[in-house]
Amino acid sequence: MTAPILRRLGGLRTLTDRWQAEGTRIAVVPTMGALHAGHLSLVAAARAGADRVIVTIFVNPRQFDNPDDLAKYPRTEGSDAEKLAPLGIDALYVPDPDQIYPEGFSTTVSVAGVSEGLCGAHRPGHFDGVATVVSKLLLQTQARRAFFGEKDYQQLMVVRRLVRDLDLPVEIVGHPTVREGDGLALSSRNQRLSPAARARASALFAALDAAAREIARGAPVGATLQQAHRAILAGGYASVEYLELRSAADLAPLAALTEPARLLAAAHIEGVRLIDNVPVAPARGAS
Ligand code: PAF
């Protein structure tokens, strides 16, 4: 049976109230559509970890710092619904804009600390937009579990922090990045790459992966990051926005691998901004 597509909060609430009364556990996978295999793996994980699964599609204008980026964001509801059909979700929530931002909407959820630096430094207001819409979607869907990809690692940290700080009754589940065969992280933005840029785009992951291995085996962080920076540019990227080693737990900057870490980068290729990150684990027995 195809899942109902709901555009109004009232219709969603009728369903979720009934599911709550039946004692079933609801999971949500928030998305902005343009679904790819990364999203579908989140949906499959949600399906395995809850009784009822809601997927949301909402292209959230408040998290775009660049109007051009918002205008170019792919809107593919029909094919998204087709991709979801075999996964057996229980509802597709595609809220009309006024269901998220009604007339007079005046509240912003702003998470300090983890939202600063990295993408936060380059995309003013982005994480306020994310935190605000995610808060609304978690409350509107009454989900008890919510699934997010690790590709947007800083976003995952922001969402974990807001849920903890606001005592929202929902468990945030992070899911590993899904990659193409050559290592490129799946992203809706990949659709905007020309064939030539697509062929070179995996240089970002290759550089991160090589640097993470070097750092894990004890190479100095500064010199290794400089080498990775050069490799990304040599691989065909026009610029590197950031490339940093951060604590995996709280995104604090790390000058040395003293704890489980994440190596995160954003870079531009043919005017398309791509982000990626990889885990970096200290060798066992290292302090
Ligand atoms: O990762 C995304 O697609 C978006 O940032 C999210 C979490 C759906 C909020 O709009």
Q: What is the pLDDT of residues 120-150, one digit of tens each?
A: 999 999 999 999 999 999 999 999 999 999 9
pLDDT value at position 12? 98
Helix 203-216 and helix 221-234: axis angle, to 10°?
160
Examine the residue annotation and report whether 122 is marked as an active-site residue of this protein.
no
What pLDDT, on a 0 to 100 scale, did the predictor assign at position 283?
Answer: 80
Q: How much is the pLDDT for 287?
A: 46
Report pLDDT for 216.
Answer: 98
**What pLDDT is stored for residue 14 in this prediction?**
98
Question: Does residue 63 line the site of ligand 1, with CB under 6 A?
Answer: yes
Q: How many CB atoms lie within 10 A of CB 259?
A: 16
How far apart CA 239 and CA 233 sit, in angstroms, is 7
In the chain the domains, ranked by start, together with CATH numbers, are 5-175 (3.40.50.620), 188-280 (3.30.1300.10)
Q: Quote the longest CA-to-CA distance of the chain.
A: 58
Burial 137-168 (b: 16+ CB within 10 A, else e): bbebbbbbbbbbbbbbbbbbbbbbbbbeeeeb
Residues of the chain with pLDDT under 70: 1, 285-287
pLDDT score, position 2: 85
Is the CB of 132 inside a 6 Å radius of any atom of ligand 1? Answer: no
Cβ–ligand 1 distance for 152 under 6 Å, the answer yes
Q: What is the pLDDT of residue 166?
A: 98
Report the nearest atom of ligand 1 relative to the CA of 32. 3
10 Å CB burial of residue 104 (0-12, 13-18, 19+) is exposed
